[in-house]
Amino acid sequence: MIELTHVTKSYNRGKIKAVDDLTLTVKPGEIFGFLGPNGAGKTTTIKLIVGLLRPDSGRIAVEGYDVAKEPLKAKQVTTYVPDFPAIYERLTGLEYLNFIGDVYGVPKAERLERIGKWLEIFELAPVVTNPIQSYSHGMKQKIVLAAALLPAPRVMVLDEPLVGLDPRAAHQLKEMFREHCDAGKTLFFSTHIMEVAEKLCDRIGIIHKGRLVACGTMEELKAIDRTEAGQSLEEIFLELTEK
């Protein structure tokens, strides 16, 4: 579960409000899609949830752990995939996975099984002993995803996870999202791909200029009183983020 209560984050000493009084709860077993135009505050919100940024005010809790007060407990149950796969290029894929397994304390048997599984799914098995430096952008994205899945976290937070993935990997990742949440875990991800959000997410939040302008299931979003008649998520998104 992820809970944000009246969270505000500004830059330039309060001149730019990136996130403005955001209150949001993502329940266990839920895939939550986070949409918004460029610069709306998606990545800032995600970084606040995973503790990479500190809010000016408000409270953020992950699985009941206050991110500011109990950061290690919150981190132990959370993994994060950034929008750009900046990882240790001089390590091999396997060394990186081992590193993540070590710091999250994943036991050997589980580690072996999960590494084998995700390497096969992401077709990384033949290159896992090569330096990450030699990987393509998509392969780097996949190794970051495999590393995020390795601890089998209660909460996964992903920033644009589908960017750079080939259609097969993207399909498998979406299946994994469902699997993850069917096991009662939480998944929060941002995307610009409306179709994915519409088909995959249990609930969707739309952020615009730092404020949450809509949040709910697809049905709930369609029921919002709007001037335009369109019913697709794209049409709803465009209208809500027009100004």
| DSSP-based three-state secondary structure for 131 | strand
Contact 197, 33 (CB under 8 A): yes
Residue from 106, 121, 155, 196 binding another protein (CB under 8 A): 106
What is the closest distance, in whole angstroms, from the C-beta atom of residue 197 to another protein in the complex? 25
What are the residues whose beta carbons fall under 8 Å from the beta carbon of 70, sequence distance 6 or more?
none
**Residues 134-146: b if buried by 16+ CB within 10 A, e if exposed:** ebeebbbbbbbbb
* Helix, strand and coil percent figures for the chain, each rounded to 5: 40, 25, 35
57 or 134: CB nearest another protein = 134
Q: Contacts with another protein in 45-104 (CB under 8 A)?
A: 50-54, 71-73, 75-76, 79-80, 82, 86-88, 90-91, 94-95, 97-104
Helix (H) or strand (E) holding 211: strand 211-216
Q: Contacts with another protein in 124-183 (CB under 8 A)?
A: 125-131, 133-134
What is the closest distance, in whole angstroms, from the C-beta atom of residue 239 to another protein in the complex? 32
Contact 146, 118 (CB under 8 A): yes
Binding track, positions 16-45, relative to another protein; x by CB under 8 A: ------------------------------
Residues forming contacts to another protein in the complex (CB under 8 A) are: 11-13, 50-54, 71-73, 75-76, 79-80, 82, 86-88, 90-91, 94-95, 97-108, 111-112, 115-116, 125-131, 133-134
